[in-house]
Amino acid sequence: MHPQSGRSGPWKWLTLILFLALVMGGGTLIGVSVPPGAWYAGLDKPWFNPPNWIFAPVWSTLYVLIAIAGWRTWRRAPTGLSMQVWFAQLACNFAWTPVFFGMHMPGLALVILAAMLALIVLFARLQCTPDRVSALLFVPYAAWVCFAGLLNLSIWWLNGQ
């Protein structure tokens, strides 16, 4: 393997930084560009809705795990099905915030969350044998997306969407 491929040697750490920048930077940029705002504040929410301050540390932690799993997968098979699924789940992840908070469409956001969860589970299943660590890195992500889906569904239901 060529050392400049980014999959081995000193370049592997640069690619990890790039994955972290892509995932954390993209998530942060979207979060700052499309804040919850007055619309979200005015919605009826379920009793289990967490305080707003919890979302940033949870997503920051999950984004690190997502980036590491993507980086590990890319190092092993940069054009394989697992990598394609990884990018697809990230696209769904990045689409949810503008749809829910920007477009005020919790129903469509719920569909995106369902697709994202399916892709998360598929990624973990695909990675279970070749890279169990990457599969396990997605377990907290899957759990949080399940919770987010329940929260999204409850908000949609409570607000007559």
pLDDT tens, residue by residue, 108-161: 999 999 999 999 999 999 999 999 999 999 999 999 999 999 999 999 999 986
Cα angle at 59 between 67 and 87, to 5 degrees?
35
pLDDT score for 8: 63
Which of 39, 45, 151 minimizes the C-alpha distance to 104?
Answer: 39
Distances, alpha carbon 112 to alpha carbons 10, 99, 132, in Å: 37, 9, 26
What's the pLDDT tens digit per position in 59-89?
999 999 999 999 999 999 999 999 999 999 9
- Domain of residue 150: give its range: 3-158
Number of domains in the chain: 1
pLDDT score for 160: 85
Which residue, chain included where needed, has tokens 């305080």? Answer: 51
What tokens were used for 10?
């000193």
* CATH number (domain holding residue 127): 1.20.1260.100
* Max Cα-Cα span within the chain: 57
| pTM, to two decimals | 0.91
User: d(Cα 65, Cα 55) in Å, to the nearest integer?
Assistant: 15
* DSSP-assigned letters across all residues of 5-29: GSSSTTHHHHHHHHHHIIIIIHHHH
